[in-house]
């Protein structure tokens, strides 16, 4: 089926009109329509989803978006995809299967609706139920009006807990928070982006939990941030795949490295890295990773660790494993090999002796640590031949520069950097970032004097990362210069952000809401896109990581 603009022919219109008679059930009917299309081999599921994405991108261009990854937030993009997916389903079904089968599917759904009209009690054990049954029953509960939902909310909570334990974490502190934050739709979104089996890991779980905490429209949590907060377009390699990788490459004996002495671990680690780098990733994972690379559509990306221990709510086991940045500007095969190499390097890092020492210090050496992987496009913009984030940084809900009893500590602080920053938690004195207080916003101490002199960017022409003098970026034609350039000195300045109530309110509200939900001080890593609008600067906050703040 062509992936050009959707053409609504008469058969397609007939299907659309029939479905319009079932405004509540049409989603379930279309799900059955797609199942029939895939089952009969009319179109492959992955090909269908790629066509939907291509059509959605074309629709963005027709609507005048020349930089859609920045101009359209994740929620709007998902709504666009859902609309295109529905129309594409109607189009395929109308031209290949016809109205007679559609009538049968409608009757099937109507008959099943009668059976599930009052799902007061579960008739299966969620702990052993298949994925499809859990999601279907959860969606039925979620769709109930409040009085009926109240009667079955304990069943809905049980289903969510089972899904959280399968997808995210079996750590009780995480589950206690997550079961009140994630919806069935949220959990299904994760499942659809899961490659292989297992959990998505602690770093991914912390990022997603923070995102959904901040996007909730809840008056008890302050102003609505849903249109200002999102995450990158992320995919997850499940935590079980590392065991398949080790088994396939005859590396099982390395699993017990954690019980060796530190000297022995350090001696064997280089061999483990080399074995991982030459290892073969299971074929079915390779094919799904190729699809992910296609979906990244030429954007620079990062392959990030997400072990089961990272970003636990009781401790922040962070910064011990590897993240690999990929420019993604070479040939398709070179880009793909860079992606596979990134996954292998993340796998190797689980055996890092420094990580083993950290686990020993926390009493976690006996824990069955497994490594999941996140694949994310870098958030940023193109400037000439370069690609860079506008602002990256870290936010702390408690300001460590003030004593805990000092009221000024409770509004937190930010660490801000222009361009790529491999490690957020660098010391202030390295001159690569500025620290600002969110209480009576201002620079902290002498950090205003720590002018950032270098900026790390992606060179799109040479397919590599470069560190440049910041003057190479902050030129007169730099699109965000009026927000970040001190006209008197020509240097980088955060004065505009410090004095912009909209920015300060967004960051202060985000930190206080996260701390209130977690019940402890938190730290989150982020990227910020500045959006130049007729009414002034606006902001899109991308959550990259969130964990408890170990400085407190």
* String of DSSP letters for 334-399: HHHHHHHHHHHHHHHHTT-HHHHHHHHHTT-TTS---EEEEEEEPP-EEETTEEE-SEEEEEESS-
pLDDT value of residue 71: 62
Residue 4 lies in a domain: no
What's the CA gap between 170 and 368, in Å, rounded?
Answer: 12
Residues 308, 173 share a domain? no
Report pLDDT for 508. 92
Distance, in Å, from the CA atom of 388 to the CA atom of 335, rounded to the nearest integer, reads 19
Whether 287 maps to a domain, the answer reads yes
Specify if 263 maps to a domain: yes
Considering the domain architecture, whether residues 118 and 248 belong to the same structural domain is answered as no
Same domain, 26 and 124: yes
pTM of the model: 0.77
Do 131 and 264 fall into the same domain?
no
Token pair for 142 = 């979620």
Of the three residues 377, 405, 421, the one that is the final residue of a domain is 377
Q: Is 536 left (phi over 0), alpha (psi -120 to 50) or beta?
A: left
End-to-end CA distance of the chain: 57
Give me the tens of pLDDT residue by residue for the chain, a chain 552 residues long. Answer: 444 455 556 778 888 888 989 888 888 888 889 888 988 888 888 788 888 888 988 888 888 886 655 566 666 777 788 889 889 999 999 988 888 889 988 888 888 765 444 445 677 888 888 888 899 889 888 888 888 888 889 999 999 999 999 999 988 989 999 999 999 999 999 999 999 989 999 999 999 999 999 998 765 666 788 889 999 999 999 999 999 999 999 998 888 888 888 899 999 999 999 999 999 999 999 999 999 999 999 999 999 999 988 766 666 566 678 899 999 999 999 999 999 999 999 999 999 998 888 888 878 787 778 899 999 999 999 999 999 998 999 999 988 878 777 777 788 899 999 998 754 444 344 445 688 888 888 877 655 555 688 899 999 999 999 999 988 998 888 989 889 988 888 888 899 999 999 999 999 999 999 999 988 899 999 999 998 888 888 999 999 999 887 655
Residue 227 domain-assigned (yes or no): no
Among residues 331, 357, 377, which one ends one of the domains? 377
- In the chain, the number of structural domains is 3
Same-domain status, 88 and 146: yes
* Residue 210 located in a structural domain: no
User: Same domain, yes or no, for 181 and 290?
Assistant: no
> In angstroms, rounded to a whole number, what is the distance separating the alpha carbons of residues 162 and 166?
6
Query: For residue 229, is it within any domain?
Result: no
If asked whether residues 438 and 289 sit together in one domain, one would say no
Q: Which domain holds residue 341?
A: 235-377
Question: Is residue 402 located within the same domain as residue 440?
Answer: yes
Helix, strand or coil, per DSSP, at residue 91: helix
Find, among 138, 199, 190, 195, the residue nearest to 167 by Cα.
199
CATH number at residue 417: 3.30.470.20
Q: Which residues of 340-358 are buried (b: 16+ CB within 10 A; e: fewer)?
A: bebbbbbbbbbbbbebbeb
Kindly state whether residues 373 and 389 are assigned to the same domain.
Answer: no
* Residue 204 domain flag: no
What pLDDT is attached to residue 67? 61
- 429/330 same-domain check: no
Quick one: 315 and 372 in the same domain? yes
Which of 340, 356, 377 represents a domain boundary (last residue)?
377
Residues 357 and 405 in one domain: no
pLDDT at 392: 93
The verdict on residue 2 lying in a domain is no
């Amino acid at each position: 089926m062509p992936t050009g603009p959707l053409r609504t022919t008469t058969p397609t219109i007939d299907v659309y009109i029939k479905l319009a008679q079932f405004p509540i059930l049409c989603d379930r009917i279309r799900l059955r329509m797609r199942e029939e299309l895939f089952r009969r081999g009319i179109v492959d599921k992955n090909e269908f989803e790629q066509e939907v994405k291509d059509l959605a991108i074309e629709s963005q261009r027709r609507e005048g978006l020349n930089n859609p990854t920045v101009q359209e937030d994740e929620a709007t993009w998902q709504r666009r995809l859902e609309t295109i997916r529905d129309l594409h389903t109607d189009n395929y079904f109308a031209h290949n299967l016809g109205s007679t089968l559609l009538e049968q599917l409608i009757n099937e759904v109507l008959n099943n609706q009668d059976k599930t009209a009052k799902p007061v009690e579960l008739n299966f054990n969620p702990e052993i139920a298949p994925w499809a049954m859990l999601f279907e029953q959860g969606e039925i509960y979620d769709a109930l009006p409040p009085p009926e939902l109240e009667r079955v909310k304990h069943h809905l909570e049980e289903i969510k807990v089972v899904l959280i334990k399968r997808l995210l974490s079996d750590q009780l502190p995480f589950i206690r928070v997550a079961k009140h934050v994630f919806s069935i739709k949220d959990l299904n979104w994760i499942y659809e982006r899961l490659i292989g089996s297992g959990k998505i890991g602690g770093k991914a779980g912390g990022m997603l939990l923070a995102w959904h905490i901040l996007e909730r429209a809840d008056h008890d949590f302050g102003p609505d941030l849903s249109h200002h907060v999102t995450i990158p377009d992320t995919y997850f390699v499940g935590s079980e795949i590392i065991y398949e990788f080790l088994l396939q490459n005859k590396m099982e004996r390395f699993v017990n490295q954690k019980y060796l002495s530190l000297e022995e671990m350090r001696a064997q680690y280089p061999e483990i890295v080399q074995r991982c780098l030459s290892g073969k990733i299971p074929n079915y994972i390779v094919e799904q990773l190729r699809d992910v690379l296609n979906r990244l559509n030429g954007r620079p990306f990062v392959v990030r660790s997400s072990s089961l221990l990272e970003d636990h709510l009781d401790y922040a086991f962070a910064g011990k494993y590897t993240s690999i940045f990929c420019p993604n500007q070479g040939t398709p095969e070179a880009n793909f090999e860079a992606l596979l190499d990134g996954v292998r390097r993340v796998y190797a890092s689980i055996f890092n002796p420094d990580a083993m020492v950290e686990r020993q210090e926390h009493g976690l050496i006996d824990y069955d640590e497994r490594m999941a992987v996140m694949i994310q496009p870098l958030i940023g913009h193109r400037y000439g031949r370069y690609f860079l984030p506008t602002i990256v940084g870290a936010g702390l809900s408690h300001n460590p520069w003030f004593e805990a009893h000092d009221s000024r500590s409770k509004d937190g602080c930010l660490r801000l950097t222009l361009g790529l920053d491999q490690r957020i938690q660098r010391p202030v004195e390295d001159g690569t970032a500025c620290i600002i207080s969110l209480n009576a916003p201002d620079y902290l101490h002498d950090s205003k004097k720590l002018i950032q002199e270098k900026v790390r960017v992606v060179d799109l022409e040479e397919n590599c990362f470069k560190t440049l003098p910041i003057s190479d970026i902050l030129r007169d034609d730099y699109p965000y210069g009026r927000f970040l350039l001190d006209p008197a000195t020509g240097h980088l300045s955060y004065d505009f952000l410090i004095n912009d109530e909209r920015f300060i309110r967004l960051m202060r509200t985000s930190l206080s809401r996260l701390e209130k939900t977690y019940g402890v001080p938190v730290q989150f890593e982020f990227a910020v896109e500045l959006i130049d609008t007729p009414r002034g600067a606006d902001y899109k906050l991308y959550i990259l990581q969130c964990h408890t703040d170990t400085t407190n």
